Amino acid sequence: MLPEIGQLALILALLLAGLQALLPLVGAQRGSEPWMRVARPAAYAQALFVACAFAILVRAFVTHDFSVAYVARNSNSLLPLVYRIAAVWGAHEGSLLLWIGILALWTAAVARFSRALPLPVIARVLGVMGLVSFGFLLFTLLTSDPFARLLPMPSEGADLNPLLQDPGLAMHPPILYSGYVGTTVAFAFAIAALLDGKVDARWVRWSRPWTNVAWALLTTGIALGSWWAYYVLGWGGWWFWDPVENASFMPWLAGTALIHSQAVTEKRGSFRGWTLLLAIAAFSLSLLGTFLVRSGVITSVHAFAADPARGVFILVFLGIVIGGSLLLYALRAPRDDDGAPFAAASRETLILANNLLLTTACAMVLAGTLFPLFADALKLGRYSVGPPYFSLMFGLLMAPLLLLVPFGPLTRWQREQPSVPLKLLVPWLGVALLGGALALVALPGAWWKPAAGITIGFWLLAGTARFVRRRFALAGQRFTAEMAGMSLAHTGLAVFFFGVLLTESLGVQKDVAVMPGHSVEAAGYEFRFDGVERIQGPNYVADHGSISVTRNGAHVADLHPEKRQYLAGGQVMTNTAIDPGLRRDLYVALGEPIDANGGWALRVYVKPWVRCIWLGALMMALGGLVTAFDRRFRRPAEAR
């Protein structure tokens, strides 16, 4: 009975979303206050019904209600409770419901924390968000019903994909989706401004904190996904440039450009049309990601919930939402796009360069992701675009960006003597290059990557530190949360690139066959294989390996990689064992037994500085979050 109530709740939520979209949007056009006032209560009520449906699906998983087809496909009576809850968003239907739930939360948050805004603005913003929610609810109900029954009821479920039975993956989708969906807020504000016709800096000020929070969540979500891939897949890699990853990276690149251009528009009034376009783009790319991952268009090769009916629905939805927004933009975008005039040497120019490089990178990723489809459609043959293309192009685009980052904060708005920031920074650039040169000499075999890592890391770090020192040196200047957030994020960028380049170049990987008692040496560490025993987990049996790591005779760590066989599906999963450290990860994965005498194939990695990749990403995310809490955003809307 409950699943039917869940379905009913979704239908009611759909109707409320329609109401939340229609009345306030029409009301705002006509200036009808009662119609506009519908927005808030409709948003709250919609959130309530969505929460209700979500809770019912969670309950179905917790109580093993295998009469619900989605539960039967993705759960099992042996599955531990925490993964039964995570299984709710383990596949297509449930993850869609999670998406809708998070959108409802964002909508309710906007309704709650935007009391100071003029009524027509909030009515339009909530109306646009209602429209998006309506589309997703309709999609769920028509093509992807999570409450569909399976009759007769199976006595046992098929179990959650073992790859997903992992704490990292339990957390990854909710956070990533929060970021994805959060781009809706900036989009809704942009559309509201276009509908209103007053495309000035106000909408940007209102939407900036929301954009920053969404961007921070997106950053965290991508970092979590990368961390999960690193330790679960057993390949030691942290980024694979596959279409699903690219789908999350494109909105991130557009979002990064957006948070920078929003700062310009808010403070200087420049780039107004451009900021609108980026807000539309970041949201559109989030939708496009959803389309690519779920329609079977790109993933036809890696079939993942491939269903052309879903593809058609999302494409029509994309057409209405994105096409409509861009049409609105074409009709309503400001004709005089310039705010305060600025000289060639100014912070505006630098942020423009930032925006161009980031959007080009985004277009590059989009082109690489869609090229196989394009070639296929034009009968040019079947191509796959791999990491070499992405890594090279991305590197080429990021190099000038990284060179420019420290100059941005130290360059004044509008007009700057180029000699001022140059004098402050060139000595540090010299030191950074010297450090790189030393690395080149000290690590002759490793070629340019560690040198580049050290140069880039030091350059960004020193450049950011120089800015912080200068701000404190100037008497009477406040050091705002916005500046702290920016400095933190730029420091994170330094840490990130340092980690990437050093891990990629100095990592050691060994694939060996070992007998119990034998050792493998990698990067100065001695890995002694002490054999494998059979153990029993809650829903799997495992070969539990023991490896003892020493360095110069001193004990470093005991590692226990496992090879698990899950009982329900029979799938085999490799569970890696990692001894993490800021300076290096020791990483071991079991391969296959090679003979009857206890010998195993073993894969051993030493990954220097790999933690910096995620630490850097988290620092960027935290920076975005800190910026969102700047006092300027809490001042009353009209005061300036």
Partner 1 sequence: MLRRVLPLLVFLALAALLAAGILLSRNPDREALPSTLIGRPAPAFALPVLTETGTPSNAQLIRNSDLAGRPYVLNVWGSWCVNCREEHPVIAALARSGAVKVVGYDYHEEGPEDAQRWLAQFGNPYAAIAFDPEGRSALDWGIYGAPETYFVDAKGIVRWKHVGPLTEAIVANELMPLVAKSGAVK
Site residues for partner 1 per CB under 8 A: 158, 161, 163, 233-234, 242, 273, 277, 280-281, 284, 291, 295-298, 300-304, 306, 308, 311-312, 315, 318-319, 322-323, 326-327, 329-330, 333, 370, 373-374, 376-377, 382, 384, 386, 511, 565, 569-572, 574, 589, 591-592, 601, 603
Q: Which is nearer to partner 1, 605 or 609 (CB)?
A: 605
Q: Which is nearer to partner 1, 339 or 623 (CB)?
A: 339
In whole angstroms, the minimum distance from the beta carbon of 143 to partner 1 comes to 13
In whole angstroms, the minimum distance from the beta carbon of 548 to partner 1 comes to 22
Q: Which is nearer to partner 1, 378 or 639 (CB)?
A: 378
Which has the closest alpha carbon to 493: 212, 283, 485, 231? 485
For residue 376 the two structure tokens come to 């296929």
The Cα–Cα gap between 244 and 524 comes to 37
In whole angstroms, the minimum distance from the beta carbon of 70 to partner 1 comes to 15
Sign of CA dihedral 209, 210, 215, 216: positive
Q: Which is nearer to partner 1, 148 or 312 (CB)?
A: 312
In whole angstroms, the minimum distance from the beta carbon of 158 to partner 1 comes to 8
CB-hemisphere CA count at 13 Å for 309? 6
For residue 394 the two structure tokens come to 């991305």
Q: Which is nearer to partner 1, 284 or 627 (CB)?
A: 284
Other beta carbons within 10 Å of 305: 15
For residue 97 the two structure tokens come to 């419901």
Q: Which is nearer to partner 1, 419 or 509 (CB)?
A: 509
User: DSSP string spanning 507-547?
Assistant: -EEEEEEE-TT-EEEETTEEEEEEEEEEEE-SSEEEEEEEE
For residue 186 the two structure tokens come to 């900036």
DSSP 320: I
Q: Which is nearer to partner 1, 109 or 356 (CB)?
A: 356
The Cα–Cα gap between 588 and 337 comes to 56
Q: Indicate the burial class of 499 (C-beta count within 10 angstroms; 0-12, 13-18, 19 or more).
A: buried
Tokens 């300027």 found at:
632
In whole angstroms, the minimum distance from the beta carbon of 385 to partner 1 comes to 12
- Amino acid at the residue 522: A
Q: State the DSSP H helix or E strand holding residue 562, giving kind and residue range, or none if neither.
A: strand 562-566
Q: Which is nearer to partner 1, 330 or 473 (CB)?
A: 330
The Cα–Cα gap between 11 and 216 comes to 32
In whole angstroms, the minimum distance from the beta carbon of 260 to partner 1 comes to 19
In whole angstroms, the minimum distance from the beta carbon of 326 to partner 1 comes to 4
In whole angstroms, the minimum distance from the beta carbon of 356 to partner 1 comes to 15
